Amino acid sequence: MKRGFDWATYLAAVHRDHPGLTEAIMTRLEADGSNPYRWLARAVSPRARDVLDLACGAGAMVRELEQPGRRLIGLDLSEHELAVATERSQAPFVCADARRLPFADDSLDAVVSALGRW
Ligand X SMILES: C[S@@+](CC[C@H](N)C(=O)[O-])C[C@H]1O[C@@H](n2cnc3c(N)ncnc32)[C@H](O)[C@@H]1O
Measured from the CB atom, the residue of 39 and 118 that comes closer to ligand X is 118
**Least distance in angstroms from the C-beta of 80 to ligand X:** 8
Residue (of 77, 97, 74, 71) closest to 87 by Cα position? 74
Residues forming contacts to ligand X in the complex (CB under 6 A) are 15, 22-23, 26, 55-58, 60, 76-78, 81, 97-99, 114-116, 118
Q: 110 Cβ partners below 8 Å, 6+ apart?
A: 44, 45, 48, 50, 51, 52
Residue type, 62: V
Alpha carbons 105 and 32: distance in angstroms, whole number: 38
Measured from the CB atom, the residue of 58 and 65 that comes closer to ligand X is 58
CB atoms within 10 A of CB 14: 14
**Least distance in angstroms from the C-beta of 83 to ligand X:** 12
Measured from the CB atom, the residue of 51 and 60 that comes closer to ligand X is 60
**Least distance in angstroms from the C-beta of 10 to ligand X:** 12
